[in-house]
Structure 1
Amino acid sequence: MKAWRVHSNGEPREAMRLEEVPDPEPGPGRLLVRVRAANVNFPDALLCRGHYQVRPPLPFTPGVELCGEVVAAGEGTATAAGTRIIAQPDLPHGAFAELVAVDEARCAPAPAALDDAEAAALHIGYQTGWFGLHRRARLRSGETLLVHAAAGGVGSAAVQLGRAAGATVIGVVGGPEKASVARELGCDAVIDRHAVDGVRGLAEAVKEATGGHGADVVYDPVGGDAYTASTKCVAFEGRIVVVGFASGTIPAPGLNHALVKNYSVLGLHWGLYNTHDPAAVRACHGELVALAERGAVKPLVSERVPMEGAADAVQRVADGTTTGRVVVRP
């Protein structure tokens, strides 16, 4: 079969190589899956660079989530061949391959309401959004949600989940094209960070959009200046959910500032729930499927690229030039 592999760390476009490798075999408790769509995530670029919190042994295949069809099952499994599933493969054998062996416990039925590419993009980004907004921030109907990088894969999921929860959603984006995407997603207000005067201008724009109240919940996958601006426009008893650092800059929060303004800073590492509370992950999947079935959420898939385009796709996601989700179709 064909699979993309990384033999030495570097930028995705240079580090990833498309190679012929042996077909995997499903061991006990595992499923052999034919990949129908593999979603590109920012962590795929971090894995290539060797900057992710998990560093698989070289060579490895990137790709952290997929939609596929079960073609064979190992001993002790209950999933039938032909079942359409979404799954998280175990590194170093990631999703950018034609076939992948996955742990049955980390699989879930693919929603019938979504096609393969959309289903591949429903899992990590939407689970992260759901846990961040509902489990950590306790977002309530009528509150104002500020989403950084609102036109991106992670941000677009948070926008849809916020609207489904009855929040007023303000999206922050970079550039007019992304602003248009955010409006189409349903943001009630959109702020182009390129059109305001830095951190202070962004904070002032949020305050203006909220009549001086500020954002009750901030969803931040960016870090850096985005986080700094958030602290200047978060509301009384507001909650800032730290999801990631796509800017490359990890903020150093001023706890005295959090004290005097009476806001909370909440970390969200969704992967830990797989270890500490897998039942909550399964329950969340049920919530997301129900939202997808009634049309309240639908992953924004901006590109469906062939297998040969995977390395370029990961690079473009890393460079921040894409909108929504880019999905590889083996």
Structure 2
Amino acid sequence: MQAWQVHENGEPGEVMRLVETDRPEPGDGQVLLKVRAANINFPDALLCRGHYQVRPPLPFTPGVEICGETEDGRRVLATPALPHGGFAEYVVADEAALLPAPDALDDAEAAALHIGYQTGWFGLHRRAHLQEGETLLVHAAAGGVGSAAVQLGKAAGAQVIGVVGGADKAEVARELGCDLVIDRRTDDIVAAVKEATGGRGADVVYDPVGGDAYAKSAKCVAFEGRIVVVGFASGSIPSPALNHALVKNYTIMGLHWGLYNTKDPRAIRRCHEELTELAAKGAIKPLVSERVPMAGAAAAVQRVADGVTTGRVAVLPQGGAA
């Protein structure tokens, strides 16, 4: 089969190689899946660079979420078992963790529903307890993680403010349903949020960026607001001033979605059931901006790493328009 492999750490476009290799063999409790669509996530770039919290042995295949097909023909969502990631024609995955692919979504959309939307749902509902009528501030609102949070926020009845970088991404954020879009390159984020909320600030902040985005969030979070720390796409990990959190009376909370796979897997299934229902109603629909063939995977991962994409980019190992 064909698979992309990383033999040394570095930039995805430089270190990913397309090779012919054997299909992975399922271990105990695992199943072999044919990959119908593999979604590109920022952690795939971090894996290539050797900067992710998980460091599989070299050589490995990146690709942390897929829509696949079981040997008996079922469409499922899965997180492949590294080092045999999703940018390949076949993967193995834990059978107990398979989730049924929603009928309302095609293969590429279904692949994009998994990690990003699960992260958004747990962050906004389980952690931050977002309420109808509250104001939600989403950083990187046109990206894969941010776009999911925007849609979930709107589905929950929140007023959603999206922060983006550039006019093209601002247009995407508006199409996703943001009530207000702030271009961090030209606008004052803090002033714009305070003006939009009558000086109150954002009740919930969803931050997959870190760095300056977090610093701005702390300046415009509301009384009893909640800042959900999802990741550090900027490459800069902030050091929060806890005295500031004390005097402004807001909460800083982290979200590591992957921990629920071991700590509370039933919660993941309940979340998936709700996401499936929202997709069936049309309340959420993953934004897939590109569908690339197998040969284009390395260049696509590099574009995601460089922050120039919107929504999700899907790799189609079997060809076609999944």
Is TM > 0.5 for Structure 1 vs Structure 2?
yes
Q: Does 1:130 align with 2:121?
A: yes
Written as runs of structure 1 = structure 2, the 5 A alignment for 1:243-282 is 243-282=230-269
Match of 2:154 in 1: 163
SS in 1 for 2:209: coil
Match of 2:61 in 1: 61
Task: Name which of 115, 120, 125 aligns with 2:106.
Answer: 115
What RMSD in Å do the two structures reach over aligned CA positions? 0.7
Match of 1:315 in 2: 302
Corresponding letter in the other structure for 2:119? T
Q: Which moved more, 1:39-48 or 1:96-105?
A: 96-105
SS in 2 for 1:3: strand
Q: Deviations over 1:123-146 (max 9, x none)?
A: 000000000000000000000000
Task: Name which of 273, 290, 293 aligns with 1:303.
Answer: 290
* 1:27 CA displacement: 3.4
Q: Deviations over 1:176-202 (max 9, x none)?
A: 000000000000000000112xxxx21
Q: Deviations over 1:255-311 (max 9, x none)?
A: 000000000000000000101011101111111001101011000000000000111
Q: Does 1:231 align with 2:218?
A: yes
* 1:32 CA displacement: 1.1
Match of 1:76 in 2: none
Written as runs of structure 1 = structure 2, the 5 A alignment for 1:136-215 is 136-196=127-187, 201-215=188-202
Distance in 2, Cα, partners of 1:7 & 1:185: 38
* 1:102 CA displacement: 1.2
* 1:31 CA displacement: 1.5
Match of 2:209 in 1: 222
Moved over 6 A (4+): none
* 1:58 CA displacement: 0.4
Corresponding letter in the other structure for 1:13? G
Percent of aligned pairs sharing the same letter: 77
Corresponding letter in the other structure for 2:238? P
Identify unmatched segments of 5+ residues in structure 1: 72-80
* 1:29 CA displacement: 2.1
**TM-score normalised by length of structure 1:** 0.95
SS in 1 for 2:113: coil
Match of 2:92 in 1: 101
Distance in 1, Cα, partners of 2:254 & 2:29: 32
* 1:30 CA displacement: 1.7
Distance in 2, Cα, partners of 1:99 & 1:56: 18
Distance in 1, Cα, partners of 2:93 & 2:55: 19
Q: Deviations over 1:102-134 (max 9, x none)?
A: 110121100000000000000000000000000
* 1:24 CA displacement: 2.1
Q: Deviations over 1:229-259 (max 9, x none)?
A: 0000000000000000000000000000000
Q: Deviations over 1:10-46 (max 9, x none)?
A: 0000110000001223333221111010000000000
Distance in 2, Cα, partners of 1:220 & 1:28: 37
SS in 1 for 2:70: strand
Match of 1:22 in 2: 22
Match of 2:320 in 1: none
Distance in 2, Cα, partners of 1:118 & 1:227: 29
Distance in 2, Cα, partners of 1:298 & 1:31: 28
Distance in 1, Cα, partners of 2:253 & 2:212: 17
**TM-score normalised by length of structure 2:** 0.98
2:81/2:91 contact within 8 Å kept? no
Distance in 2, Cα, partners of 1:42 & 1:137: 23
